[in-house]
Structure 1
Amino acid sequence: MQAHDSTGDLFAVPRGSTPVGRVPLAERLRPRHFDDLVGQDDVVGPGRPLRQAIEEDRLSSVIFWGPPGCGKTTLAGLVAQYTKSQFVPFSAVTGGIPELREIIKAAEQRRATGRATTLFVDEIHRFNKAQQDAFLPHVERGTVVLIGATTENPSFELIAPLLSRSLVVVLQPLTGEALGSILERAIADSERGLGSLRLTIEPAARERLIAFGNGDARSLLTTLEFVAGQAPVSRDGTRTIDAELLDTALMAQSLRYDKSGEEHYNLVSAYIKSLRDSDPDGALYWLARMLEGGENPRFIARRMVIFASEDIGNADPQALVIANAVAQAVEFVGLPEAQINLAQGTTYLASRPKDNASYVGLQEARRDARQYGNLGVPLHLRNAVTSLMKDLGYGKGYRYVHDDPAASRDQGHLPDSLKGARYYRPRTPSSDKERG
């Protein structure tokens, strides 16, 4: 392993330059070796291909995609530790194309001397599509090995040519178990953590801290550091964090809604069930609870779009149009005003007739697809695009419904072994229950 020299290093704090206590806890505890890394074992656990590629310094261009605090920057830092190339960190938030040109120019000069460059671009999605084009020729020529980090879906935020030249690695929010391990390490580590405080966390407070971390190690450690600073020192020099101190330090209201924990799922479940039962009052209440708790309005809008097709379907096709319009309004308007759009969409969806026939039919069709395997397409439904296909009977006997209206009823559209199967069974209007 060889040390790297780079400007604007995002990962290491030069020894002796900054008092440890002034460096945020999350930065001090950032893993320096794979043995220190907690979580993401499916991606970089022992023996995994990505880890081997990093340790053997043969990593090609890669995009790390995952939520905040899941380890994207940490993995980039490990690449910096293991690579023999010049590692250059660059933030799309603070830098732009002029700075990138300078980096590329230096990389070209370095390449001429036989040394490679690894370029880490944090929050790469902040570059627009035209700016992302600037990376392409240099990635193609091998001037740089690109490592990008993003919290946004690369399929939507990164250009296709860049994606096709990069491996996309999906990182998940850290589990409660992983956050618990990080918490314990922070408390015990006297060199880089809070060990010198002789800190104890009561079990209930520990669980709530982990829930507050919400899969985000940085958030967990930042919260821990703040709360630890509020803990009174006892006569024997120890400090204790209990639930009461946690409430006082963070204000209890901010802990009532964990955006990825049980309460998150409880509230959204109550919201969806209120919509399904055609109760706009209940749906508005649970919508308000989610908004007051700080839920991402995009999440609510996505659930509305899903609900419109899953639970209303063709009983009112306009529901999907309304739900998509609400989702678009959320993007265009943003909070706080987008709450009005969410409320309108909620009351509309709750008040409409319900029919899940499309969803149920799809599930049944998928079941048969899995059970019966790759059943052949009936010959009369195939297109004879070549003379050989025509000779083999492709399209033979197919009746064009515009010339022969009875064809839609008489000719089959399923494999022989599924003939007569009926997947779509819409409800009759009389069976719909609608609350005015």
Structure 2
Amino acid sequence: MYQPLADALRPKTIDEVAGQRHILGEQGVLRRIIQGGTIPNMIFYGPSGTGKTTVAEIAAARIHRPFYRLNATTASLADIKAVTKDVGTLLAPEGVVLYLDEIQYFNKKQQQSLLEFMENGSLTLIASTTENPYFYVYNAVLSRSTVFEFKPVSPEEVEPVVRRGVDHLAKTRGVSVQWEEGVLAHVAQSCGGDVRKALNAVEALFAAHAMDRGEITLTLEEAQTLSQRSAMRYDRDGDSHYDILSAFQKSIRGSDPDAGIHYLARLLEAGDLISPCRRLMVIASEDVGLAYPQAVSVVKACVDSANMLGLPEARIPLAQAVIFLATAPKSNSAMMAIDQAMADLRAGKSGNIPADLQDAHYGGAAKLGHGLGYRYAHDYPNHYVAQQYLPDELKDRVYYRYGENKTEQAAKRYWDSVKGQG
């Protein structure tokens, strides 16, 4: 019977697990929990192929309880009841361990059906998810669980696994294997931190030599063909999408054009044109803002060009916009001003509009005192006259503070002079 290579090489001990040194290293918290033999409810969160299922099975084996495994994509309430019916019986006097894969696919009712058993300790839940559990797992389950994040495995940690895979298949096939320089490193690098994907690539390499006998040679060209685009982790509705967009904006805000271009490339390589266009328009006002007010117009022109051209040509004006914004002076003074003003409104601070600023373009307005005493700024030198514009409750509130860049400082010097503050 066919057995996938990833399953055949599945680690049986913590020391055999590739990566995750931050939680499975010598002093790693998860390692010590598993070795202690008392397993709490846990949620393993991270990309595919990083060891979540393997570690769950290793943990379950330490506590010697009946072990059940469900996949939330296909499981139902009836399946959960089938697991919990043995709790407290001779079949499971000390409870059961349930490994629930892809818990994000369980709805609220399905997740809550586990709570009673989690609460009294008769069911130990080990759940895994590729999505952020703080978004997809309900609070009642989260509050009873400890979340551990699994990270993509580094190429240096994947390469020994790739080598073991090659040796295993060579022994199974009864052949001698040679490989060109860089083959194993390329497979380890191109899997994007997914060990399963790397082993699948090894299987595919051997499949390409299925008819060969005696000695086979794995070539770098074959490895590159099999791994095209495989390192890309991207899901338009998932964590990786928002993580890339976050890194994209933070890199440009931090004035790093190289990082900005890198994250733009990741978005475009995944075929996502809309997201970088929207985010670049935001950055133009949020992060460059009044330090270079013309940035909005420049970026809008680049975005319009990109949308008109479509991919792959759209990459050129978008790259121009990224480098332009990353190397432009920065100011968030406009965003800070509007956010503070809105915070006051949400706190109930508004007040009445001063009577002299109220609309006076209708009969009877003067009888109400609306518009009386208003001074028209253009009638005064420099088109300025001192008067109160904010409501009385907020009359001393300062929302806009000039940024340190030369554009805003030039404006500040001008108005300080006009207002007699210079």
Same fold (TM over 0.5): yes
Aligned pair 1:356/2:333, yes or no?
Answer: no
Give the aligned partner of residue 180 of structure 2. 202
Give the aligned partner of residue 405 of structure 1. 395
Q: Which amino acid aligns with 2:395?
A: P
Q: Which amino acid aligns with 1:357?
A: S
Give the aligned partner of residue 49 of structure 1. 29
Contact 1:110 1:117 in 2 (8 A): no
Distance in 2 (alpha carbons) for counterparts of 1:99 and 1:301 = 45
Aligned pair 1:153/2:132, yes or no?
Answer: yes
Q: Which of 69, 81, 102 is residue 82 of structure 2 equivalent to?
A: 102
Q: Cα deviation per residue 1:290-331 (whole Å; 9 max; x = unaligned)?
A: 567436789858965884666445678xx8xx99xx9xxxxx
Q: Which of 228, 235, 246 is residue 223 of structure 2 equivalent to?
A: 246
Q: Which amino acid aligns with 1:224?
A: V
Q: Which of 255, 266, 270 is residue 294 of structure 1 equivalent to?
A: 270
For structure 1, which segment, 209-218 or 290-299, has the greater mean C-alpha deviation from structure 2 after superposition?
A: 290-299
Q: Which runs of 5+ in 1 are unaligned?
A: 1-18, 327-337, 363-399, 410-421, 432-436
For structure 1, which segment, 137-146 or 422-431, has the greater mean C-alpha deviation from structure 2 after superposition?
A: 422-431
Q: Which of 145, 150, 156 is residue 166 of structure 1 equivalent to?
A: 145
Aligned pair 1:183/2:166, yes or no?
Answer: no
Distance in 1 (alpha carbons) for counterparts of 2:65 and 2:137 = 25
Secondary structure of 2:114's aligned partner: helix
Following superposition, the deviation at residue 147 of structure 1 comes to: 0.5
Q: Which amino acid aligns with 2:51?
A: G
Q: Which of 209, 219, 223 is residue 231 of structure 1 equivalent to?
A: 209
Contact 2:104 2:136 in 1 (8 A): yes
Distance in 2 (alpha carbons) for counterparts of 1:430 and 1:102 = 71
Aligned pair 1:121/2:95, yes or no?
Answer: no
Distance in 1 (alpha carbons) for counterparts of 2:84 and 2:318 = 50
5 Å matches for 1:32-431? 32-109=12-89, 114-189=93-168, 196-231=174-209, 237-247=214-224, 250=226, 255=228, 258-259=231-232, 290=266, 293-294=269-270, 307=283, 311-313=287-289, 356-358=330-332, 402-403=392-393, 405-406=395-396, 408=398, 424-425=403-404, 428=407
Give the aligned partner of residue 412 of structure 1. none
Q: Which amino acid aligns with 1:155?
A: Y
Following superposition, the deviation at residue 115 of structure 1 comes to: 2.1
Contact 1:90 1:121 in 2 (8 A): yes
Contact 2:44 2:126 in 1 (8 A): yes
Contact 1:65 1:154 in 2 (8 A): yes
Change (3 A) 1:423 1:107: farther
Q: Cα deviation per residue 1:388-435 (whole Å; 9 max; x = unaligned)?
A: xxxxxxxxxxxx9945734649xxxxxxxxxxxx8843664899xxxx
Give the aligned partner of residue 334 of structure 1. none
Secondary structure of 1:79's aligned partner: helix
Distance in 1 (alpha carbons) for counterparts of 2:190 and 2:282 = 28
Q: Cα deviation per residue 1:96-124 (whole Å; 9 max; x = unaligned)?
A: 1221122122224358x632211110000
Distance in 2 (alpha carbons) for counterparts of 1:301 and 1:138 = 48
Contact 1:232 1:239 in 2 (8 A): no
Change (3 A) 1:141 1:297: farther
Q: Which amino acid aligns with 2:42?
A: V
Secondary structure of 1:88's aligned partner: strand
Distance in 2 (alpha carbons) for counterparts of 1:302 and 1:91 = 36
Q: Which amino acid aligns with 1:138?
A: F
Distance in 1 (alpha carbons) for counterparts of 2:281 and 2:318 = 11
Q: Which amino acid aligns with 2:102?
A: E
Q: Which amino acid aligns with 1:64?
A: F
Distance in 1 (alpha carbons) for counterparts of 2:396 and 2:44 = 55
Change (3 A) 1:313 1:277: same
Q: TM-score scaled by structure 2?
A: 0.62
Q: Superposition RMSD on alpha carbons, in Å?
A: 4.9
Q: Which amino acid aligns with 1:78?
A: I
Give the aligned partner of residue 375 of structure 2. none
Distance in 1 (alpha carbons) for counterparts of 2:60 and 2:396 = 69
Q: Which runs of 5+ in 2 are unaligned?
A: 235-243, 304-309, 337-389, 411-422
Distance in 2 (alpha carbons) for counterparts of 1:196 and 1:299 = 50
Distance in 2 (alpha carbons) for counterparts of 1:346 and 1:428 = 25
Secondary structure of 1:31's aligned partner: coil
Following superposition, the deviation at residue 126 of structure 1 comes to: 0.8
Q: Which amino acid aligns with 1:259?
A: M
Distance in 1 (alpha carbons) for counterparts of 2:278 and 2:36 = 42
Following superposition, the deviation at residue 172 of structure 1 comes to: 0.5
Q: Cα deviation per residue 1:165-186 (whole Å; 9 max; x = unaligned)?
A: 1000011100011110111111
Give the aligned partner of residue 371 of structure 1. none
Distance in 2 (alpha carbons) for counterparts of 1:301 and 1:127 = 34
Contact 1:63 1:150 in 2 (8 A): yes
Distance in 2 (alpha carbons) for counterparts of 1:404 and 1:56 = 60
Contact 1:187 1:195 in 2 (8 A): no
Distance in 1 (alpha carbons) for counterparts of 2:126 and 2:42 = 5
Change (3 A) 1:131 1:184: same
Contact 2:166 2:202 in 1 (8 A): no
Contact 2:192 2:232 in 1 (8 A): yes
Following superposition, the deviation at residue 24 of structure 1 comes to: 0.5
Share of identical aligned residues, percent? Answer: 27
Q: Which amino acid aligns with 1:133?
A: Q
